[in-house]
Structures are given as C-alpha cells and as structure tokens.
Structure 1
C-alpha cells in the first residue's frame, strides 16, 4: 500500500514555526508578546549606539519650512535647536561608548523633521520614533537610519520617548503634541518621573490655546505645577532654560521614570 501524502499536515497553519506564523503572532493572544518585541527591538538598537539620554522635541507634523504665518519661524527655531543641542549637549561625541542628550522626535515631518535635520547638520545621530497610522506616516529623511523605528503601539512609543529623556522641548502642535506634553507633565506632577525640564516654545501661542493660570486659579492643579515648565522664544533661549533647570552635557539628568 503506498504511503499517504503528508501534504495536508505540512500545509496546515498549525505546522508553521511559531516565530514565522504571522496569523498566530498577529492574533489577540500574542498582543503582550508583540508589545515586548516593540520594546526590545528599539532598546537593543539604542544600546548598540550608546544612547544613554535624549532631548525630546515635539511639535506639529503639519508645519512647513516655507509655511504661512509663524510656521517658518517655528521650523527654523526647531532646526537651530537641533544643531545647538547636538553640539553642546554631548550627542556628537561618543564619550566612552555613550552619547547623551541625543535629539529624539516622533520621526515624522514638520517640527520633528526640523529637529532631526539640525542634528544631522551638527554631525550627530538623532532618533525617530515613528508610529503606524491609518494614513501612513513616512519617516523624515533626517533621522539616523539605524535609529529610526516604527511602532504600532502608542504606549510603547511613549515609553521609549520618556525613559531616556533628559528634557522635553515642545513647539506648537495639535492633538498629538498636546498628548505627549501632558503625558510628561503628568509624570512630573505625580512623581513618576525625575525633574525633567520642559520648555514650551512661543509663549504667545501656548497662552492663547491653554490658560494654565486658570487651572491653578480654579484649584484644578497646584500653583507649584506652573513651575513644571518654562517658556522660550528661540533655540538659544530654550537651551539656556534647560541648562538653568539642571541639564548637564555629557550625563543623564537623573533616574528615569519607571514607565
């Protein structure tokens, strides 16, 4: 009697190697594993490059270098900040196998591209933590290719943005920028993060869209919470604010949050 074919067994989804079975890996039961994979992939690459600490720059993806109104100024200041922070913060030098204050952005266009571009012009690496969106977001061409990551989970992206941050510099932006800003402010307010300095660029913009003083006046935040951030108008002023708040080139600011 001839041996039956085992083609049905070999072609069954159950026979696929688990690590190569996308139907299995992308199923609901493996969400925790996918979460861990997103953490580990970026973590190993950052360690390989010796990235010990970062300066995170947020801002609108819709800002253009030649955009209307204040857009061109915001873009120019973000670009200049990328240069200044990279040159003076320690990202250019590989000091004993580590780099500090490396520019990190959301990896997209607009303000994020400007900050990554400035780092390139300073001769420093920079990081792009990109995210998959319904309308595909492409990575900007300025982040270091080996440090350009794509995440599915916003939570994991936020973790990587927060866990090495020595400082946060926030340019005008929309919902995404507000989301990241208040994430860090909440970590600061609740003591889940060290005293990471936060600088908001363009006081007139921020004052027109968020009345922080009203929150304090109504008792919704403590008056001391207004000291969790400062304002700046230029790249140089933003850098000075960070230094005044305790940022030191070539070293991490303090213990990182347990995120």
Structure 2
C-alpha cells in the first residue's frame, strides 16, 4: 500500500474515517431522495475528453435525443465530453436530463444541459456508481477511459453475479470496443475459462443510434418487463 500519508498519524486517519461515514450516509440519502423521483432513465457513459465535433460526441447527442423521444430520461456523469453530449441531446429532446457529478482535481465540471433540479454532486465514486446502476433501465457506453471501464465492468459483474436484475448494456463503437471484447472472448473465455459463454451475451456492440434504441425496446418487449414507466 506504500507509506502512510506524511504528517498524519494513524489515529488521525482513523478519526477522519469515522466522521466520513456521516458524509457517505448523507450522499446516499440525498441521492436516493432525488433519484427516486426521476422516472425511467438510461445511463450514458464515456470520456470527458471527447470534444464537440468528434463523431462520438455527435453520436452520443443523437442517441440521447432518441432515448428521450422514446420516453426515457438520460443520466450522465454530469461533466464535459460524452457526458455533456448526452445531457445536451436529452435537453434538446425536451426530456429528463440528470447529471451525477464527481468532484475531481481535473477534467470534471458541470455541463450546462443538466436540469437544474437534477444536478447531484458526489465526493465518493462508489456512492455515485450506486446511483447509476440503481436508477437506470439500461447502460449506453461510449468510448472512454479508466472511469468508463470501471462503470462498465462493475455493471457486468453485478448482473453476472445476479446482485442486480439484468438490463441492456450497449457499447457504441465497434472500432473502439471490438479489440477489447475479442481479447475477452479469446483469453478469458476460450483460453482460460475465467468466464462462461453466456457472459458474452451480457453486452452488445453497435454503431448507430437506431441500434441502441432497438436493443432497449426489444429487451423490455422480449422479457415482458416494465421499464418502470
């Protein structure tokens, strides 16, 4: 784990951890209270570094616009890049636009397309991720970095281990995701048997907004589940 932070005694660290419990509780309570009022939504993930004019920014905006026109709201991480594109598409489509922002020393700041009463701020990644999963009827995962991969694989793991009900996980961009899932198939599944064949069915890889909507609509029609409208 490396050295304990300098100028902080172990007792001080333990004391701070004890008080942090109350802040964690407060973030959960505030999140549950606000998110329980939003209605059915789809979470859109992706890089904060992708700028307007990039094909994936434009595609995320288009996907979000179509999602709200199908009766869903959109949840994003509330920051710039793909998150901004998702909130922008939802805003332009006249639908619910939710931002779950995280306080970071770089990259992250609120984007202007979040509904004013649906902008939540978090200090703790794990509290924020609970909100993404608990209140989403599907995940749309655009190209991103470590944070995007973290959110993606947590959702896959929770569904694989049956800790949450199954919902659509849709990866957008074959050129971006194809190599990763080829490695997962060849190495994790076929060579080492670290996952089961059916685990590969937990995600779909697509390239268009229409494919995203078809998968979400088909999932709820085929399973006879209500997306909590």
Smaller-chain TM-score bracket? 0.7 to 0.9
Match of residue 3 from structure 2: none
> Which one has a bigger Cα radius of gyration?
1
Are the aligned partners of 2:62 and 2:209 in contact in 1 as well (CA < 8 Å)? yes
Are the aligned partners of 1:166 and 1:252 in contact in 2 as well (CA < 8 Å)? no
2:16 is the alignment partner of 1:44: no
Runs of 4+ in structure 1 displaced over 4 angstroms?
none
Match of residue 199 from structure 1: 170
TM-score by length of structure 1 reads 0.76
2:126 is the alignment partner of 1:155: yes
Q: Distance in 1 between matches of 2:68 and 2:221?
A: 13
TM-score by length of structure 2 reads 0.85
* Within-5 A mapping of 1:62-77: 62-66=49-53, 72-77=54-59
User: How far 1:40 moved relative to its partner?
Assistant: 1.4
2:218 is the alignment partner of 1:244: yes
Are the structure 2 counterparts of residues 192 and 140 from structure 1 closer, same or farther at C-alpha, using a change threshold of 3 Å? same
Gaps of 5+ in 2: 1-14
Deviations 1:197-239 (A, max 9, x none): 1001011210124422122112111111000011110111111
* Within-5 A mapping of 1:9-28: 27-28=16-17
Higher-helix-fraction structure: 2
SS across alignment from 1:149: strand
Match of residue 220 from structure 1: 194
2:63 is the alignment partner of 1:81: yes
Q: Distance in 1 between matches of 2:107 and 2:194?
A: 37
Q: Distance in 2 between matches of 1:152 and 1:233?
A: 33
Q: Distance in 2 between matches of 1:247 and 1:79?
A: 25
Superposed CA RMSD:
1.9
Aligned residues: 209
Matching residue within 234, 240, 243 for 2:208: 234
SS across alignment from 2:154: helix
Are the aligned partners of 2:41 and 2:135 in contact in 1 as well (CA < 8 Å)? yes
Deviations 1:99-152 (A, max 9, x none): xx3200111111111010000001112111010112262111111121111100
User: How far 1:241 moved relative to its partner?
Assistant: 1.4
Gaps of 5+ in 1: 1-25, 67-71, 91-100, 255-259
SS across alignment from 1:200: strand
